[in-house]
Structure 1
Amino acid sequence: MSAPNEGMRLARQAYDLTSDLMAASRTVYWIDLLATAAVTYASFAMAVRAESGLATAAWALLCLLALYRGISFIHEITHLRPDDVPGFRLGWNLLIGVPALTPSLMYEGVHNLHHAKTRYGTANDPEYLPLSHYPPAKILIFILVPLLAPLGVALRFGIIAPLTFVSPKVRVWATRKVSALTINPAFARTDVDQSKRLDWRAQELACWAWSWGLAGGTMAGWIPLRVIGLAAAIFAGMTFINQLRTVVAHAWLNESEPMSFEEQFLDSVNVPPPALLPLLWAPVGLRYHALHHLLPRLPYHNLGKAHARLAGALPASYRSVEQKSLTSGLMALLQRSRSAMARRADTARAMGR
């Protein structure tokens, strides 16, 4: 294992080279959010009104990509301080979080644990699994599970949320087990008292009211089933694309052993230019995932500038974490998986002799 100070030295070098890029631009954040929300709702309206299947599909795809970009701001919110972009968290919840039944409470207090030096890659990391040691079939299941996301958010806020207001036991359970966007099924939140905060309850109440409003409007015939089905399909597609991005965001090599800072960086992935498609499947700076782990406070709109500086100034190890595309990242994961399965088979044969 590499010495801990080596990774910290890399982070210090990176910070020294990019310290002028650490301030979040309030203008960029707000214009991006407002434009993204406008495109999301306008394209959804056009998809609903479209008279041909092809037109519906085209508008729905645009809506999916815009919604995905909008949802991705939840990651930025977890790293922004309250005075960085005042009101942005509230604005995002009103425009995107609550209407998509994915409020910020589902990520705040959770994602920061993924960056904790003693948690990354361990069983206590909410966003890590040793996927490179999984068989390909299990990886495929992992990728497909998010297609059930529309049902999951409907249950969380349409059924479980109201129960949390009448049963303290349900509230504790819901906070621990179904109030976090994670990929580690064993993870449970320990910050149960967070659910007593006024803003947490306001988000839950808003999502509860919105989900019941949609259900009531549909049952009353005010909202056509086609509209609900289209919205669910777009949401499922969005979560599926995000899961594809997730499986190439890391190398997923660790099996719960503590890792040095440099090892954590080397286990993460950048998909930098000249690739263009990452703008769609890894929006809001998510294409620079390894750089984000190196400098978590760097705002998304400056990640490209920072990468350009660091690529030529840091040791070769900085460029070693790059993938050329989503496809190359997926192929690399499957290759690691097959290698792990082969090693496991060799071990089993050796033990059987």
Structure 2
Amino acid sequence: MNVENTIEAVAAAAKPAKIADDKDMLRAARDLTKDISEAKPSVYWTDLLLSAGVGYAALAGAILAPGVPLAIALGLVAVLTLYRALLFNHELAHIHRNALPGFRLAWNALVGIPMLTPSFMYEGVHTLHHKRTQYGTIEDPEYLPLALMKPWSLPVFVLIALLAPPALVLRFGVLVPLGAIIPPVRNLLWQRASSLSINPDFRRRPPEGDMKPRVFWQELFGMLWAWVLIASVFVLGWKPILVALAVFSLVAVLNQLRTLVAHLWENDGEPMSVTAQYLDSVNVPPPGLMAEVWAPVGLRYHALHHLMPSIPYHSLPEAHRRLTRHLGSGSTIDGANHPGMWHLVGRIARSTMIMR
């Protein structure tokens, strides 16, 4: 029986919430990664600028392409590169605010505002997903027990993302200015539609401290950009915005697919140990190459990230190698390793078909 089958057998026999902490793994994660815990500005800036630059160039090419095949090819390049650029919002939610001067502002200007997903929609929300006592509970904004739900919930979960880009245009272009003059609209918008969360019961608390001015400026520029997009139809016609919405919709679906396989979603709402949270999360380590496409910016090591949330994305491969070498084959560190996206989709789908 291989390691993965062993872990599945253990999971079938005990609830995730009952898994005790592996103290050796937690100690190794702390001790073996101290020298690789700082973000490298050159890596972050180069990666972001190349991803955004290639993405927008490909998007412009898809809009201007004379033929459909070329437009589709360039559109796919735009999807993958802008998707990678967008996922730096995950890093922004974790890195210390003084670690990369100007990076948050640049990301919002290049990606967050143009794609109508400014950093406030993830900051202050994603960290709740990493709180030991909240992960996998009703208070976790980024957790649904998808593996314990009905089979139809999985395609609905993924395909609803197609509506995200037009919904964001509506949010920023219509509801933000409406909320400025009607407080109940503003309160509802903030509580229910200001975060990249998947838990329908999550209600966001009002912003505090230095988050308040950031929210104001990001929403203001998001509103102005949404108006530009709407007005562009009357100046440039429908094609540019329809192509852009198609690209951004595919980015949203790809991100939702990645979210679907970021965890096993097997917890029923009880608090979990750190090791249980690790085993309920997913690593897709090499040698496979495709994981770097659908889970870029370190997210192919999502379980490891839950073990060490402050480690920068470029250090996760080395951290995984060190822990695997130190703890040995067949240890708990291997329990979160999975071969790929479709294997994980199949596992979660099979779990939804079990009568409970």
- Fold similarity call, TM over 0.5: yes
Runs of 4 or more, structure 1, over 6 Å off, are none
Number of equivalent positions = 337
Matched residue type, 2:312: P
Q: 2:248 aligned with 1:217, yes or no?
A: no
Q: 2:268 aligned with 1:251, yes or no?
A: no
> Matched residues in 2 for 1:119 and 1:231: separation?
37
Is the Cα–Cα contact under 8 Å of residues 114 and 225 in structure 2 kept in the other structure? yes
1:269 to 282, 286, 296: 282
> Matched residues in 1 for 2:243 and 2:79: separation?
10
Per-residue deviation at 1:196?
A: 7.4
> Matched residues in 1 for 2:64 and 2:303: separation?
41
Per-residue deviation at 1:195?
A: 9.6
Counterpart mapping for 1:161-200 below 5 A = 161-193=176-208, 197-200=212-215
Question: Partner residue of 1:53?
Answer: 68
Per-residue deviation at 1:9?
A: 4.7
Question: Partner residue of 2:312?
Answer: 299
Pairwise CA RMSD: 1.4
Is the Cα–Cα contact under 8 Å of residues 8 and 261 in structure 1 kept in the other structure? no
Spell out, residue by residue over 1:187-236, the C-alpha distance to the aligned partner (whole angstroms, 9 max, x if none): 111234469722211100101001101111212xx222111111111111
Residue aligned with 2:283, SS? coil
> Matched residues in 2 for 1:138 and 1:42: separation?
36
> Matched residues in 2 for 1:8 and 1:90: separation?
39
Counterpart mapping for 1:1-353 below 5 A = 1-3=18-20, 6-7=21-22, 9-193=24-208, 197-219=212-234, 222-314=235-327, 316-339=331-354, 341=355, 344=356
Per-residue deviation at 1:251?
A: 0.8
Matched residue type, 1:245: R
Is the Cα–Cα contact under 8 Å of residues 146 and 243 in structure 1 kept in the other structure? yes
Question: Partner residue of 1:351?
Answer: none
> Matched residues in 2 for 1:194 and 1:103: separation?
18
Residue aligned with 2:42, SS? helix
Structure 1: unaligned runs, 5 residues or longer: 345-353
Residue aligned with 2:152, SS? helix
Is the Cα–Cα contact under 8 Å of residues 136 and 272 in structure 2 kept in the other structure? yes
Spell out, residue by residue over 1:139-194, the C-alpha distance to the aligned partner (whole angstroms, 9 max, x if none): 11111110111121011101111123223332222111110001111111123446
Residue aligned with 2:32, SS? helix
Residue aligned with 1:197, SS? helix
> Matched residues in 1 for 2:23 and 2:115: separation?
38
Residue aligned with 2:306, SS? helix
> Matched residues in 2 for 1:103 and 1:250: separation?
25
Spell out, residue by residue over 1:17-45, the C-alpha distance to the aligned partner (whole angstroms, 9 max, x if none): 11111000011111111111110111111
> Matched residues in 1 for 2:291 and 2:197: separation?
22
Matched residue type, 2:317: G
Is the Cα–Cα contact under 8 Å of residues 162 and 253 in structure 2 kept in the other structure? yes
Spell out, residue by residue over 1:258-303, the C-alpha distance to the aligned partner (whole angstroms, 9 max, x if none): 1111111111010010110111100101100000000000000111
Per-residue deviation at 1:83?
A: 1.2
Is the Cα–Cα contact under 8 Å of residues 232 and 241 in structure 2 kept in the other structure? no
Is the Cα–Cα contact under 8 Å of residues 172 and 192 in structure 1 kept in the other structure? no
